[in-house]
């Protein structure tokens, strides 16, 4: 075997952190022309197959951070790279699941899932095979020929996730994907997501304001406040995680501890910042 | 499922429509009867529905002097003039529509291009359409190309604005989502923006089709050698209100039929649109 120096070889992927952020800052301009610092000096490394949840109060820069990695906006300062390649604009190596209904409403569910595959120029038969694989994975196979308007909220989200996953991104970015769903649907989708990622490991950045969700899904939790990282917490639970974990005493303990600490981290850092 | 609901909804509408039409005809009849002279003859200013029906053979005159006044000849006159009008209408719609939507799509592609050219093109919106009619008349005389251009111009100005507005209203999330899936900006335009604007364009087209008849008639009143508008003016010269009403009814029928066809097509191509 000839070792190739560039590309998707596992050894290299293991050496270089999958996603690397160095000194990332972002200044946003409001409609009135005022400047708002959304992110300051973010340093973060995310390994392949690792799941990072980003939590924090609204307006703390979580979504801005995700948009920078997705390449939807360029950082004012700093450098973001994915597998050693600097991020310049959006690309299919970084799939993003949006909070809103990002769906192609004029296409059936099946053709939604095929969108990225068409962009790649895959032949019809292969597209069909791939799309069906992911439709089955998210449990939408029997709804493949419906239009998105005929789906429930949870099914719409699944459709979006299938669309992103079928495109086989190296990095999965998720912006409060389950925020608008009812509790049982949310739990079910969280478990499905973990199952899928167990089969196809990806570096995942998952923005949420739900601490339970973060604890259940993530390997590490990044706590953000006012545009900077306040604390990074390692989640002690091993994977695979079953749904029983939610009612485990240790889980409740962790959740309570995190809750108590959270306020302290957020306010303490603000005081030092203000001083 | 939704198709069935649509059908039932449609048939309900049709029944109400028939009822309204019946009431209107009855009202017309009563009005005509109340202004008729004591001997029972209708007033020439308000013929009754029966008078209008009896006027049908008299349309034969428009085929040329001395043409026998029969239903057959009348039908022939209507056919010839309908074909003439329809040719103008669809010619104008096609040219104006292609230009309006095409230019809208070109300008909608790029924000800078749009800023540069949108203003000048929007001037067409403030041009008083019917005031242009004498100009078109001077340019083209009575040639059919004049009426076609006039209809095309009107359709262009409406659909151009409609297209730009529709592009502005496309959900940015779908565009951004397509970009993150690896689509190039051109591909996003082709596979997201264009399909997404279809419902709004279809709605605009429906309005335009309704107005296009009025615009066409205006053009034909002034200049045409043939067409429905032309025979309307001829009937007016005879001071024959029965024939004039007959033609109005015919135009109503055409407008309604066209709208029905279009609404079925629009319902078909916008069946994916989420509705609350």
pLDDT-based confidence at B195, cuts 50/70/90? very high
Test A104 with B192 for CB contact under 8 angstroms.
yes
Interface residues from chain A to B (CB-CB < 8 Å): 70-72, 89-92, 94-96, 98, 100-107, 115-116, 118-120, 147-149, 160, 163-164, 167
Nearest-neighbour CA in chain B from A97: distance (Å): 8
- Distance, in Å, from the CA atom of B188 to the CA atom of B258, rounded to the nearest integer, reads 33
Contact B82, B75 (CB under 8 A): no
Test A148 with B274 for CB contact under 8 angstroms.
yes
pLDDT for position B63: 87
Which long-range contacts does A138-147 make (Cβ < 8 Å, 24+ apart)?
A138/A162, A138/A165, A138/A192, A138/A196, A139/A192, A140/A109, A143/A109, A144/A108, A144/A109, A144/A110, A145/A108, A145/A109, A145/A110, A146/A108, A146/A109, A147/A105, A147/A106, A147/A107, A147/A108, A147/A109, A147/B271, A147/B272
Structure tokens at A97: 């699941």
Closest CA to A128 of A107, A155, A110: A110
Closest CA to A37 of A28, A48, A49: A28
Across the strands, what pairs with A222? Answer: A54, A232
More confident residue, A14 or A221: A221
- List chain A residues with CB under 8 Å of B183: 115, 119
SS3 A38: strand
Test A72 with B179 for CB contact under 8 angstroms.
yes
Test B181 with A101 for CB contact under 8 angstroms.
no
pLDDT for position B211: 87
- Distance, in Å, from the CA atom of B143 to the CA atom of B137, rounded to the nearest integer, reads 9
Q: Can you give the residue ranges of every domain in chain B?
A: 1-54, 72-269
pLDDT at A3 over 60: no
Residue whose pair of structure tokens reads 């719409």 in the numeric block: A156
Test A72 with B180 for CB contact under 8 angstroms.
yes
pLDDT above 70: percentage of residues in chain B: 95
pLDDT at A86 over 60: yes
Residue B175 touches partner A, C-beta closer than 8 Å:
no
pLDDT-based confidence at A134, cuts 50/70/90? very high
pLDDT-based confidence at A125, cuts 50/70/90? very high
pLDDT at B21 over 50: yes
**DSSP label at residue B193:** I
Question: What confidence tens digit (pLDDT) does each residue in A34-85 have?
Answer: 998 999 999 999 998 899 999 998 888 999 999 999 999 999 999 999 988 9
Find the Cα–Cα–Cα–Cα dihedral A176, A246, A239, A231, rounded to 10°.
Answer: 60
CATH no. for A1-83+210-275? 3.40.50
Test A116 with B195 for CB contact under 8 angstroms.
no
- List chain A residues with CB under 8 Å of B169: none
Question: What confidence tens digit (pLDDT) does each residue in B208-242 have?
Answer: 988 888 889 988 887 778 899 999 998 999 898 99
Q: Which residue among A90, A102, A163 places its CB closest to the CB of B173? A: A102
Interface test with A, best of B3, B170, B180 (most A CBs within 10 A): B180
Q: Which residue among B173, B183, B196 places its CB closest to the CB of A106? A: B196
Q: Which residue among B174, B191, B274 places its CB closest to the CB of A102? A: B174
Superfamily of the domain at B72-269 = MetI-like (1.10.3720.10)
pLDDT for position B7: 47
- Distance, in Å, from the CA atom of B149 to the CA atom of B136, rounded to the nearest integer, reads 8
Q: Which residue of chain A comes nearest to B173, CA vs CA?
A: A102
Q: Which residue of chain A comes nearest to B175, CA vs CA?
A: A102
Residue B269 touches partner A, C-beta closer than 8 Å:
no
Test B176 with A102 for CB contact under 8 angstroms.
yes
Average pLDDT, chain A: 89
Test A96 with B180 for CB contact under 8 angstroms.
yes
ipTM: 0.89
pLDDT-based confidence at B4, cuts 50/70/90? very low
Residue B177 touches partner A, C-beta closer than 8 Å:
yes
pLDDT for position B3: 45
pLDDT at A1 over 80: no
């Amino acid at each position: 075997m000839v070792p190739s120096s560039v590309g998707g070889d596992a050894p290299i992927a293991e050496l270089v952190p999958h996603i690397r952020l160095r000194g990332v800052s972002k200044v946003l301009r409001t409609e009135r022309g005022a400047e708002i610092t959304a992110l300051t000096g973010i340093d973060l490394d995310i390994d392949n197959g690792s799941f990072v949840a980003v939590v924090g109060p609204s307006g703390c820069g979580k979504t801005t951070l995700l948009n920078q990695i997705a390449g939807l906006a360029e950082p004012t300062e700093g450098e973001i790279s994915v597998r050693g390649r600097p991020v310049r604009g959006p690309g299919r190596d970084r799939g993003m699941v949006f909070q809103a209904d990002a769906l192609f409403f004029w296409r059936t569910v099946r053709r939604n899932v095929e969108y990225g595959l068409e962009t790649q120029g895959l032949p019809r038969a292969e597209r069909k095979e791939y799309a069906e694989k992911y439709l089955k994975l998210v449990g939408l196979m029997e709804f493949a020929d419906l239009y998105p308007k005929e789906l429930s909220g949870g099914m719409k989200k699944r459709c979006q996730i299938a669309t992103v996953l079928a495109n086989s991104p190296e990095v999965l970015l998720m912006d409060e994907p389950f925020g608008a769903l009812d509790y049982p649907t949310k739990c079910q989708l969280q478990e499905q997501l973990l199952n899928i990622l167990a089969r196809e490991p990806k570096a995942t950045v998952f923005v949420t304001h739900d601490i339970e969700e973060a604890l259940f899904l993530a390997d590490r939790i990044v706590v953000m406040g006012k545009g900077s990282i306040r604390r990074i917490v390692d989640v002690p639970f091993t994977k695979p995680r079953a749904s029983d974990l939610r009612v485990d005493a240790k889980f409740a303990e962790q959740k309570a501890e995190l809750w108590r600490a959270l306020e302290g981290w957020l306010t303490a850092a603000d005081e030092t910042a203000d001083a | 499922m939704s198709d069935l609901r649509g059908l039932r909804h449609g048939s309900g509408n049709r029944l109400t429509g028939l009822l309204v039409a019946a009431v209107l005809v009855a009202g017309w009849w009563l009005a005509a009867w109340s202004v008729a002279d004591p001997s029972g003859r209708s007033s020439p200013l308000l013929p009754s529905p029966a008078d209008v029906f009896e006027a049908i053979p008299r349309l034969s005159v428009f085929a040329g002097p001395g043409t026998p006044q029969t239903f057959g000849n009348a039908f022939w006159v209507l056919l010839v003039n309908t074909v003439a009008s329809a040719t103008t209408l669809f010619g104008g719609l096609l040219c104006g529509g292609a230009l309006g939507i095409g230019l809208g799509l070109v300008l909608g592609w790029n924000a800078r291009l749009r800023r540069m050219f949108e203003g000048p093109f929007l001037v067409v919106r403030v041009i008083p359409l019917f005031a242009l009619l004498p100009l078109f008349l001077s340019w083209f005389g009575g040639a059919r190309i004049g009426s076609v251009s006039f209809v095309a111009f009107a359709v262009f100005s409406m659909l151009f604005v409609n297209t730009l507005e529709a592009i502005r209203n496309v959900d940015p999330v779908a565009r951004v989502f397509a970009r993150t899936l690896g689509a190039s900006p051109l591909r996003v335009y082709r596979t997201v923006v264009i399909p997404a604007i279809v419902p709004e364009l279809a709605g605009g087209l429906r309005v335009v089709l309704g107005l296009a008849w009025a615009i066409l008639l205006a053009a034909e009143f002034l200049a045409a050698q043939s067409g429905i508008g032309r025979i309307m003016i001829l009937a007016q010269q005879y001071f024959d209100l029965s024939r004039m009403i007959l033609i109005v009814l015919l135009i109503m029928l055409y407008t309604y039929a066209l709208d029905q066809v279009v609404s079925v097509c629009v319902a078909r191509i916008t069946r994916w649109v989420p509705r609350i």
